[in-house]
Structure 1
Amino acid sequence: MANTNSQPTFAEAMENQATINIGIIGHVAHGKSALVRCLTGINTIRFKQERERNITMKIGYANAKLYKCNNALCPRPKCFKAYSSHTTGTVICDRPTCGGQMQLVRHVSFVDCPGHDVLMQNMLNGAAVMDAAILLVAANEACPQPQTAENLAAVETMNLQHIVVVQNKCDLVSKDQATMSFNQIKQFTNGTSAQESTVVPISAEMKVNVDAVVEQLCQQIPMPVRDYASDPRMVVIRSFDINRPGDTLKLSGKGASGLKGGVAGGSITRGVLRVNDVVEIRPGLVTRDSNNHIRVRPLRTRVESLGSESTQLKFAVPGGLIGVGTLLDPFLCRQDKLVGNVLGKPDSMPKVFIELTIHFTLLRRLLGIAGNDSVKETQYEQYMQDNFGDSSRLTKVSKFKKHDVLQINVGACTGLATVVGVKDDLAKLKLERPVCADIGESIALSRKFNGSFRLIGWAKIVKGKALMLD
């Protein structure tokens, strides 16, 4: 672009990077990663432990471009198709005798969230950057399964309004079983954000009816309204060191080469981030002094590079998952050390809090959300009654008491908090780990049950005690 300070056009941005984040949620082993692989061609199960157990443990992500044929005679849903995010130029419809050209409708980052109950905090971190979600339900199991209900409750906690429901593994059941599963899904989603969604039956492994999923993503999920004018801000959900063992810093007359700075990965929530921008990362370095007082030192650095998968960018806009190359010591970024931080322009960042006062709402039971606009706990109770003859196995969520220990998710930051005061539906929390957050921001609340933290409610930040920054 001739003027580096001009605002990019939406079409220009969408061609080069994903502009919307769509989460894939649901119970463990229902086929979330298989659907992402089917849509993008990328396997999000990458780590050794994940491959050994064949489940997602860390947040996986992959991009795809969603196209629609411009030939009005091309029948739906065959006129919709997902291609690799590296696809460029003119794409011809592959339906025989059509001859139409495919037009880019969406460029999507899919956020593949873990479905196992002990990995709930990772799922909540992923929910922090979602604009919409696909709720995946396996047709060969009763609905709802525990994490089906809990995951839907979690995304509703984060105020996600657009949810597409997909019924997977239809190739493993009879027509009657598929119909029974469909009816269970419709009953379960009644009264939730997903109640108006069409239930799309598919087989991700056999790649059957996936074009219908693409159609729903293009037509039922609107593009979020983005703020391009404000100072840039990004939620960090991954960070890593891209150097290989043995890499060294090389100095020459042209400057330094060899070792690269650490990389922060996440989603821009507002503004436009450009190469060479000076940015600040908060909270940054968190230490304790000789008196055991917490000290916070934000990190300042320059944006060395911007990337969307393997595509190098000159600028990045809200939506989609972006890798930000920095000049930071790689040690500060390795093994997700920056997860939960917020990156943005210096002097425009939220405060860093060590105590929060929250306005909270608790679930009545461990799974589901009470109320007409939320996940109905009676659905899971009915499932327990039908299958076990007893819904009393559901654990009731008790009220907060002083000294209760909770796990909170503020954006992508997960940490422990101790309740130091409760009055009506207000609670004061002392945090084990400082967080960078805005007043009014939504947070998720979890409590430990049977050795793992489970979602028990949500809250909004009313005020907080801010730390002085070094």
Structure 2
Amino acid sequence: MAKKKKKISSEEKLSADDLGIVKKKTITKKKTSKKSSSKKTTTKKKTTKKTTKKKTTKKTKKKTTKKVIKKTDFIQSSCNVGLVGHVDHGKTTLVKALSGTWTEKYSDEINRGITIKLGYAEAAIDQCPNCNLIIAESVANNLRKSKKDQKGMCPNCGTKLNFKRRISFVDAPGHEILMATMLSGASLMDGALLLIAANEECPQPQTREHLAALGIAKIENIIIIQNKIDAVGKERAIEHYNQIKDFVKGTIAENAPIIPTSAIFNSNIDLISEKIEEIIPSPDLDHDSEFLFNIARSFDVNKPGSEIEKINGGVIGGSIITGTISVGEEIEIRPGFRSKEGKYSTIITTVESIYEGRNSLNSAKPGGLIAIGTKLDPSLTRSDQLIGNVAGIPGTLPDVQYSVEIEAHLLKEVLGAEEEIAVTPIIKNELIMIVVGTSLSAGVVEKIGKKNTITLKLKRPICALDGSIVAISRRIKNRFRLIGYGYLIS
């Protein structure tokens, strides 16, 4: 989700540079003309002004045309593809190879070399009308024989590629302490690429945990990427492939294709984009129901020291679940803002802008990941303060819940731990962490009911629909580990 850049018109640029220079020259010539009484100076002065005016009109017209094309020609993404797997197995590098975008943008991520926040990128999927090759646009451009060759051409036969659809990528963190962030990202995914590095034994702890999370989120369209094959020999690659087959047997990914790749060397990346089109179709999207938006990010796009009159409102990012939204419409955000007293207040604001990546939209529908610029004070949205909230048309959102009842289903073993740990039943007064959509909360078990139901008193309220999928985690050795899933009853 790109930052909203300040736009400077051509007239402003000229008044700061070209017009200033012209003015200075004119004054100099005027003084000379007084002494010499030359008519030549007057002629030059008029010519200079006329030329400057012509340049200004031409540049302004060009800027306006570009803006209109940008808004009318862009087609919104229709599918969200997640990248999951153990830390340092190459998820962010693969996103870069498929889309041309490096999703690690924050200083902590760059310094540590790992994904900490959910990363977003978009890619156009194209098809060759001649040889029927299906390939991501960025991948096709990377396969050009020479940088001088025209972009957007088929790398096989040189025919102009036709646009097929646009997809968004959700780059989920792989570190064990960021499992809650990964679970939030899973709620936005329509399909997933499960990355497993060939230079490590399979499965690693978070490989197992992330695959289970995909099962909980009911994400069945999965492609397994056997990455980093450049780091091992042929025999080890075959041995590792067999480890993957044994690992996924009996799971949701048992029949998933396995593609050996080297993301860093762009090896077999073209096969991945082809398989995405085959395995992960765009889902049937609900455009007619009430607008419902899961907030997965929130931030302040203003630079320090910005002038007050030029400050942009706070931005919320995520995915539309149902309905549509347009610039100028009013939205409500729940549970909302937490005061110093610990109370939550619903927020009402207006949509000022809508973006997918760097592309401005007048309205947005389900599918893809978008950023919504609002009239909110940016102090309310900075540093992801509104993660876990939902947005909708005022008066249409579910009630804010401080206590919830969950139909719980526990796993046999704790996921994500190095050793095997059996999952014991949930007990009264136990602290449990839950993730519902993009919302994360912890609660104390107040009641154990019949038919696997538990009642939690939440420390942070949630706003979610009945029947929503809930991921359940328990604190084990100073880490919250995934122990089960459930469905929200009330």
| TM-score in terms of structure 2 length | 0.80
Q: Identify if the C-alpha distance between structure 1 residues 104 and 192 changes in structure 2 by more than 3 Å, giving closer, same or farther.
A: farther
- Report how many aligned residue pairs link the two structures: 411
Matches within 5 A, 1:62-211: 62-72=121-131, 79-83=134-138, 92-95=152-155, 98-211=157-270
- Tell me how far apart the structure 2 counterparts of residues 121 and 52 of structure 1 sit (CA, whole Å): 22
1:336-370, Cα deviation, whole Å (9 max, x unpaired): 000000011111111110000110001111128xx
* Residue 278 of structure 1 pairs with residue 330 of structure 2: yes
2:394 matched to 1:394?
Answer: no
From 107, 112, 115, the equivalent of 1:48 is 107
Task: Give the aligned partner of residue 434 of structure 1.
Answer: 461
Using the TM superposition, give the Cα deviation of residue 63 of structure 1 relative to its aligned residue in structure 2, in angstroms. 1.0
Native 8 Å contact 1:65 1:84 kept in 2: no
Larger deviation: 199-208 or 54-63? Answer: 54-63
Point out where structure 2 has 5 or more consecutive residues left out of the alignment.
Answer: 1-70, 142-149
Query: Take 1:233 and 1:84, find their aligned partners in 2: how far apart are those partners?
Result: 34
Given that 2:184 and 2:437 are in contact with CA atoms closer than 8 Å, whether structure 1 keeps it comes out as yes
Could you list the runs of 5+ residues in structure 1 that have no partner in the other structure? 1-11, 251-257, 369-379, 385-392, 464-470
TM-score of the two chains, using structure 1 as the length reference? 0.84
**Residue by residue, what CA displacement relative to the aligned partner does 1:385-416 show, whole Å, maximum 9, x if unpaired?**
xxxxxxxx311111111110011101111111
- Deviation string, structure 1 residues 173-195 (Cα, Å, up to 9, x no partner): 11111111111111211222222
Aligned to 1:459: 486
Q: How do residues 354-393 of structure 1 correspond to structure 2 at under 5 angstroms?
A: 354-367=402-415, 393=419
Q: What percentage of residue pairs aligned between the two structures are identical?
A: 39
1:268 is aligned to 2:320: yes
Whether the aligned pair in 2 keeps the contact of 1:80 and 1:214 (CA below 8 Å) is yes
> Using a 3 Å threshold, how does the CA distance of structure 1 residues 224 and 44 change in structure 2: closer, same or farther?
same
**Counterpart Cα distance in 2 of 1:95 and 1:395:** 50
Check if 1:403 corresponds to 2:429: yes
Q: Of 237, 253, 268, which aligns to 2:296?
A: 237
Deviation of the 1:106 alpha carbon: 2.8
Q: Give the SS at the match of 1:205.
A: helix
What residue in structure 2 maps to residue 317 of structure 1?
365
Change (3 A) 1:353 1:84: farther
8 Å CA contact retained: 2:402, 2:460: yes
Q: Is the 8 A contact 2:140 2:153 kept in 1?
A: no
Aligned equivalents of 2:95 and 2:366: distance in 1? 21
RMSD of Structure 2 on Structure 1 (CA): 2.1
Output the CA distance in 1 between the equivalents of 2:359 and 2:140.
Answer: 9
CA distance in 2, matches of 1:13, 1:400: 53
Classify the secondary structure of the residue corresponding to 2:414.
coil
Q: In the alignment, what sits opposite 1:466?
A: none
